[in-house]
Amino acid sequence: MQSKYTALLIGRFQPFYVGHLNSLWEILENYNVIDIEVIAVRSENSRLNDNPIPLDITIDNILKGLEKIYGEKYNIEVYGIYYKNLIDLFVKIGNIFNDNKCKKDYLIAISDIKRLIMFKIAGIFYKIIYGNNFKVIYSPRIISGREIRENLRNNNMEYTKYIVYPEEKIIDYITYNAPAGIWTRAAGLEGPHPATRRRVQYIFLIMLILLNFVIPLSKYFKGKNNDIFNYLNKNITL
């Protein structure tokens, strides 16, 4: 019997564009999918230049776009997460899995090699702790969200065609034409330098690889109602 999957997209979605939709399409075309779940994530140190669209607006825009395209065929859910660091992010993603009443087989398409490796390793823990199967596939994108933002800010409005649901307010946020005072979470927060973010990613990757050799310990934490992710989040600061 063929497995039934929940298609999963995780990202910043700045904006939600056809590259994300193509990754979703690859999953829908090649696997037996019954649900679509999207998790929009945002660092608490989010930089306005990279994340101009507020999280609540992002969630609403994604839901409108997916409902218009796939609403009649699939059950669609969109979540939002603010996170402090990568460990906190993976804990909160796990909390979403844990909140679901039934165990699911997830399929996620990743366009970045480093993130693909991290999610593959994290999937081992999600399987042990939450009982979810977590399959990760690689789906390269031919255009990036950064390219879309830069072109729109240079008044190249032709790039709106790449946005799945190009509402006027989405364009306004990207081009900084939205009303003042709306970036309540991101304004004034420059966030870490890109090189610092890369170091954090590498540290987290190395840590997960090392933890892969002590996976049996997770059963101990699970038995104590304190899984290994929450243990790490409380005891390790990046």
User: What global pTM score does this model have?
Assistant: 0.75
Instruction: Using pLDDT thresholds of 50, 70 and 90, give the confidence band for residue 57.
Output: very high
Task: Confirm if 178 and 91 have CB atoms less than 8 A apart.
Answer: no
When computed from its CA atoms, the radius of gyration of the chain, rounded to whole angstroms, is 18
Question: Residue 40: pLDDT above 80?
Answer: yes
Instruction: Choose the weakest-confidence range: 4-18, 47-61, 179-193.
Output: 179-193
Kindly provide the b/e burial profile for residues 183-214, where b requires at least 16 CB atoms within 10 angstroms of the residue's own CB: bebbeeeebeeeeeeeeebeebbebbeebeee
Residue 176, classed as helix, strand or coil, is coil
Query: Which of 9-18, 102-111, 134-143, 201-210 holds the top average pLDDT?
Result: 9-18
Q: Which domains does the chain have, with CATH numbers?
A: 5-235 (3.40.50.620)
Structure tokens at 96: 């979403």
pLDDT at site 220: 44
Question: Residue 129: pLDDT above 90?
Answer: no
Query: Roughly how many angstroms between the first and final C-alpha of the chain, as a whole number?
Result: 44
Percent of the chain residues past pLDDT 90, beyond the cut: 43
Q: Which residue has the tokens 């830069």?
A: 150
Residue 5, classed as helix, strand or coil, is strand
H-helix or E-strand spanning residue 228: helix 228-235
> What's the mean pLDDT in 9-26?
93
| Cβ neighbours around 226 below 10 Å, total | 12
- Identify the DSSP state of 178: S
193-228: pLDDT as tens digits = 455 455 555 555 665 555 554 444 444 444 444 444
> What's the mean pLDDT in 185-191?
38
The span from the CA of 171 to the CA of 219, in Å, is 48
